[in-house]
Amino acid sequence: MSRVGVSAVALALLLTLVASGAAGEEESAEGAAARFGLNLSGDAPTSIRAEQLEASQDASGRERVIFEGKVEVEQGPLRIFCDWLEATYSESGKGGPERLVARGRVRILEGGREARCTEAIFERVRNRAVCRSSTGPASLRRGDDVVEGEEIVFDLARSTVRVSGGAVVRVAPREEAER
């Protein structure tokens, strides 16, 4: 599988699409996560709803919960909709899920941003989110602007986004008053 990187110009456009804060400011991982709108924070409660669930615990004490059917995750302004979700919790079980894996028709909403893919992985400890698709491009939309690729990786700690697998950026023309 060929990996196509995002050029500096495309990355600048991508960051313009995704970021709601001022470019070039140094910020914490929490600030970067808030800008990208994909933060799994222990500060806000996480609510997960589904048609059914199955919970288990592995030998190390980690709790694993599988949700199936019309799954909805809510944490602050972040919403995730999918067909299947696995939530993995730390041994202590405190602070919400450490890792979420969403599959099926995955739709992620936060503010004016929407991501769509067939699999999304959120890792709170690594402060990273990956959105990939096997049935067409994964997409990230903000208004009429769209970024697509086979995989979109958000490194929230470093404030970077990597699009691979045929990266495409479509920026809608702006009104004269917005320029």
pLDDT for 80: 92
pLDDT for 106: 95
pLDDT for 176: 59
Amino acid at 178: E
Identify whether the C-beta of residue 160 lies closer than 8 Å to the C-beta of residue 38.
no
Model pTM? 0.71
Does residue 71 sit within a domain? yes
Q: What is the mean pLDDT of the chain?
A: 75
Identify whether the C-beta of residue 171 lies closer than 8 Å to the C-beta of residue 145.
yes
- Inform me whether the pLDDT recorded for 16 exceeds 50: no
- Inform me whether the pLDDT recorded for 88 exceeds 50: yes
C-alpha count within 13 angstroms, C-beta hemisphere, residue 121: 11
pLDDT for 93: 61
Average pLDDT over residues 39-43: 54
Does residue 88 sit within a domain? yes
Does residue 179 sit within a domain? no
Does residue 3 sit within a domain? no
- Inform me whether the pLDDT recorded for 145 exceeds 80: yes
CATH of the domain at 26: 2.60.450.10
pLDDT for 126: 85
Q: Which of 44-48, 68-72, 82-86 has the lowest mean pLDDT?
A: 44-48
Rounded to whole angstroms, how far apart are CA atoms 149 and 159?
19
DSSP string, 148-160: EESEEEEETTTTE
Does residue 178 sit within a domain? no
Q: Domain residues for 117?
A: 8-173
Torsions phi, psi of 37, nearest 5?
Answer: 70, 25
Does residue 118 sit within a domain? yes
